[in-house]
Structure 1
Amino acid sequence: MTELFDVFPYIENDKVIIRKMDMNDVAALPEISNNDNVYKYISPFLYKESNKMLETAIKNLGGRDFEKKKLIISNDGIFSKQNWNYNT
């Protein structure tokens, strides 16, 4: 049986994927966090002003903090398999 911190969670169904965020996701984060309907649900590290700060936050949460068995949820991203409308 897999222990909690053995593998970062990956969940997928026909509509969404919940997975670890990585550096490829940094460019989309400002667009997502600037939407009022999304903003109220996101983690504070996503409103960082620069891409460098976002990269550092993602690296720390998904790497260092996960390895130290501190966090598992904060670096999950929920990704739509379809074109998503964040205004609904």
Structure 2
Amino acid sequence: MSAGLRSGQVAEAAGVNIQTLRYYERRGLLAEPERSYGGHRLYGEDAVTALRVIKAAQRLGFTLQEVAELLEAGRHRHGR
């Protein structure tokens, strides 16, 4: 298993709190992270980028539903 960032590290780097991080995960805005052997969530650097994009889109007036649709369209376009 590769090393990753724990929830607190990702939240701090993206300027959100852990509850926001988990909420976006439940909403499907963020992919479910890998888990360490101890059960801790381990995120890649792409999670920080995704959180920053989500927050920027919200500042521009997009709803979370619209952000989810944009992210999904981007995933399909890039074959993920």
Which TM-score applies when normalising by structure 1? 0.30
Structure of greater relative contact order (alpha carbons < 8 Å, 6+ residues apart): 1
More strand by share: 1
More helix by share: 2
